[in-house]
Amino acid sequence: MTWLADYSTHYYHQPPAWVSKTLFREGLAWDNQPTWTQQADDWEQQADDQQFTGIGYSLVTNRPVKSGTTPLSYEPDPNHGTTEEFKAMCQRMADRNIPVLTWMSHSGLSYRGSDEIDDDWFIRGIDGGISSAWGNIDEPEIAHINLGHPGFIEYTRKWIRFYIGECRCKGIFLDCMAWAFPCDFKPRSFMRYPGDTNRMAVRYVQAVYDEIKACDPDAILLGEGWGSDLPVNVFSIHANPKRDNNQDPHMGTRDFLLSLNRYTDRKMAVDQGPRLFGACGYVVAAKGQKWMDHNRMMLKLLAEHGSPDAWQPLPGDLSILKRDGEADLLVVSVDKEESQRTFELPAMYDKLDSLNELVTGRTVTRLDDGRFPPIPPGFYSLEKVTSQEAV
């Protein structure tokens, strides 16, 4: 596995230490407060209640009401306040050492969405027409942009300088990085062939990464559907279906990627998994009042044990936190269905008769056949019991 881990991390950049110590609140997505000032007030109240220490990537760019992920431009949405009010919101969080991440689109922009957008940036078909990324061919919600266009690259850099440099945000999330771009038949000085458009994505992402780091070396780049041939700090892998393979029949896609961290010094961090998934390197708080105490517990654990080396992933988006001088912890993450989970414990814990959940006091007892029943999300104490001790 070492060669595969080395291949997967050749262009990868491990995020700075603050990322694995942060409990991120889910970013804004059609649920923000009416004004940027009110949003800052709301965030501060939740932070005071120890519900998070960071704010995940948020849909804050100017966009039509019908589609939250169709940017008219990269400016903050003026429907919620001025650019200065948005900047003040972000800086209030930065003053409290609460990192804020910002969403951007990789797949394109709304055609002629604002005066800033240049028609020359857009990919042209063999008939000279624009190419629809989302929506129908005559009225695309998002139209494909040639990512190698120097004008669009500079436009993106300008807004990165605003969000990272002026607002003091701590990262950019590029959406839809798995996009396949059509040919651009308009003659371009920066391309040899119409089919070079997908190669231009590499040039674009490198420029984005370099600009982020130039503004703040501690800021990060997150990417959805990312390949291993591009610089990134946090991958996004939305699904984790179990794969039937000879090596581990219980291991899904996200499980496999995180398992490679055993073989490389560059520890990969993964986003878009379940909530309170400690071993993923990018931990998101659970939503809802019933999980408030669990969020406080995870916030404390990350502050004390936020190193990637302290967490061991188990198949099924489970985590084990290794602690010196204290019992280890099994962390059963919170998926969208808040489902209970079945699993197998590593050998050093296989003699445990019961598991005690630290927040609720719930006890789960091993069944007569040696297996544990499905276990609800939570933090379960793991005392190491050897075979001799069990006898």
At the second CATH level, the architecture of 309-390 is Sandwich (2.60)
User: Of all helices (H) and strands (E), which one includes residue 354?
Assistant: strand 354-357
pLDDT of residue 68: 65
CATH superfamily of this structure's domain 17-232:
Glycosidases (3.20.20.80)
pLDDT of residue 362: 94
Structure confidence at residue 391 as a pLDDT band (50, 70, 90): very low
pLDDT of residue 388: 46
Tokens of 319: 């985590």
pLDDT of residue 370: 78
Provide mean pLDDT across the span 87-101: 98
Nearest to 301 by CA among 379, 382, 383, 360: 379
Structure confidence at residue 66 as a pLDDT band (50, 70, 90): low
Per the document, the length of the chain is 391
Domain extents for the chain? 17-232, 309-390
pLDDT of residue 67: 65
| Average pLDDT for the chain | 90
pLDDT digits (tens, 9 = 90+) for 205-242: 999 999 999 999 999 999 987 777 889 999 998 888 87
pLDDT of residue 387: 47
The C-alpha angle 87, 91, 93, rounded to 5 degrees, equals 125
Q: What is the 3-state secondary structure (H, E, C) of the chain?
A: CHHHHHHHCCCCCCCCHHHHCCEEECCCCCCCCCCHHHHHHHHHHHHHCCCCCEEEEECCECCCCCCCCCCCCCCECHHHCCHHHHHHHHHHHHHCCCCEEEEEECCCECCCCCCCCCHHHECECCCCCECEEEECCCCEEEECECCCCHHHHHHHHHHHHHHHHHCCCCEEEEECCCCCCCCCCCCCCCCCCHHHHHHHHHHHHHHHHHHHHHHCCCCEEEEECCCCCCCCCEEECCCCCECCCCCCCCCEHHHHHHHHHHHCCCCCEEECCCECCHHHCCEECCCCHHHHHHHHHHHHHHHHHCCHHHEEEECCCEEEECCCCCCEEEEECECCCCCCECCCCCHHHCCCCEEEECCCCCEEECCCCCCCCCECCEEEEECCCCHHHHC
Provide mean pLDDT across the span 354-366: 94
Provide mean pLDDT across the span 71-94: 95
User: Of all helices (H) and strands (E), which one includes residue 43?
Assistant: helix 36-48
pLDDT of residue 140: 73
Task: Give the helix, strand, coil percentages of the chain, each rounded to 5.
Answer: 30, 20, 50
Tokens of 221: 């780049």
pLDDT of residue 160: 97
